[in-house]
Amino acid sequence: MQKPSKKSTSKKLIVANWKMNPLKGSEAKKMFLGISKIANNLKNVETVICPPLVYLESLGQLVENRSCVLGAQDAFWEHSGAYTGQVSPDMVFNTKARYVIVGHSERRAMGETDEMVNKKIKSILQFPLIPIVCVGENTRDEDGLYIKDLKIQIRRSLAGLTPFELSRVVIAYEPVWAIGAKAKGVCTPAECREIVQVIQQVAADLSESADHARRITILYGGSVDITNAEGFLENGSVQGLLIGRASLDPKAFTQILKIAEKASK
């Protein structure tokens, strides 16, 4: 087996989730080149661009170094065969992508279960690929019961991973109520910080090692833009960000990259 891809431990990890955008490959190329021009020169940031799958192969040829790499927005758990419409981690890896987003709330809303997410993570980890596992509650209740559900979601998604596999995983905390143009609320860095502790606690239970749990990279995602990126990086206890809408505007996104470059370690 090839050597597992390593996460950089001290760098900020800034992930662009382009979702189902842009409509043309030529536009994707223009966006990628604009972003990577800045991203390639940053010392404290690793940038991951996750375009639609159809653009991965061609954008892979534009990757210059480890500072700005590519990721897929999903991958199936089987390697090959009669699975119409699916793409395997093997195929993703062969495009030179290094990360795979798994269990995004928009996919969970289309029927993806924790068990499916778990199978995908295990399959992805057989390659030198890093899964970015999205977790987050749909809504919050005043009694804090959502934390119990969130713990169950994290536990089921990460079930059966060895401590070493767990330490290779990136977890993105994405409160569903704070994501996208139709977000119902605003998550604060303080609220994010509380959940980071919850994630670390569950990871420590799963790996039976607080040390392994501390090594897990945790990101925040949900309406991140140039106005709040610094707050999450400085006060959210996270090592990076997962960005949707703001990543489609190369100017705004590169500004966030510069904010991350300056954020304290």
Positions marked active-site? 104, 174
Q: How far is the CB of 205 from ligand PGA (least distance, A)?
A: 26
Which region among 37-45, 64-72, 79-87, 173-181 touches ligand PGA (by CB under 6 A)? 173-181
Name the phi and psi angles at 84, rounded to 5: -55, 130
CA-to-CA separations, 192 to 112, 117, 141, 175, 178, in angstroms, rounded: 24, 22, 16, 9, 11
Residue 71 found at the interface with ligand PGA (CB under 6 A) = no
Residue 64: CB atoms within 10 Å: 11
Q: Can you tell me which of 51, 71, 103, 244 binds ligand PGA, judged by CB under 6 A?
A: 244
Contacts of 237 (CB under 8 A, 6+ apart): 192, 193, 196, 197, 218
89 or 244: CB nearest ligand PGA: 244
148 close to 192: Cβ distance less than 8 angstroms: no
Angle at 194 between CA 137 and CA 151, to 5 degrees: 45
C-beta nearest to ligand PGA: residue: 244
15 or 206: CB nearest ligand PGA: 15
Residue 108 found at the interface with ligand PGA (CB under 6 A) = no
Residue 124 found at the interface with ligand PGA (CB under 6 A) = no
CA-to-CA separations, 241 to 30, 32, 141, 201, in angstroms, rounded: 22, 18, 25, 20
Residue 224 found at the interface with ligand PGA (CB under 6 A) = yes
Q: Can you tell me which of 73, 118, 167, 223 binds ligand PGA, judged by CB under 6 A?
A: 223
Relative orientation angle of helices 146-157 and 189-207, to the nearest 10 degrees: 50
18 close to 49: Cβ distance less than 8 angstroms: yes
Residue 260 found at the interface with ligand PGA (CB under 6 A) = no
Strand pairing report for 217-221 and 240-243? parallel
Residue 17 found at the interface with ligand PGA (CB under 6 A) = yes
Residue 243 found at the interface with ligand PGA (CB under 6 A) = yes
Residue 97 found at the interface with ligand PGA (CB under 6 A) = no
Residue 16 found at the interface with ligand PGA (CB under 6 A) = no
Residue 245 found at the interface with ligand PGA (CB under 6 A) = yes
Residue 95 found at the interface with ligand PGA (CB under 6 A) = no
Residue 100 found at the interface with ligand PGA (CB under 6 A) = no
Q: Can you tell me which of 31, 39, 69, 179 binds ligand PGA, judged by CB under 6 A?
A: 179
d(CA 219, CA 240): 5
Strand partners, 28: none
160 or 185: CB nearest ligand PGA: 185
Q: What is the binding site for ligand PGA (CB under 6 A)?
A: 17, 174, 179-180, 221-224, 242-246
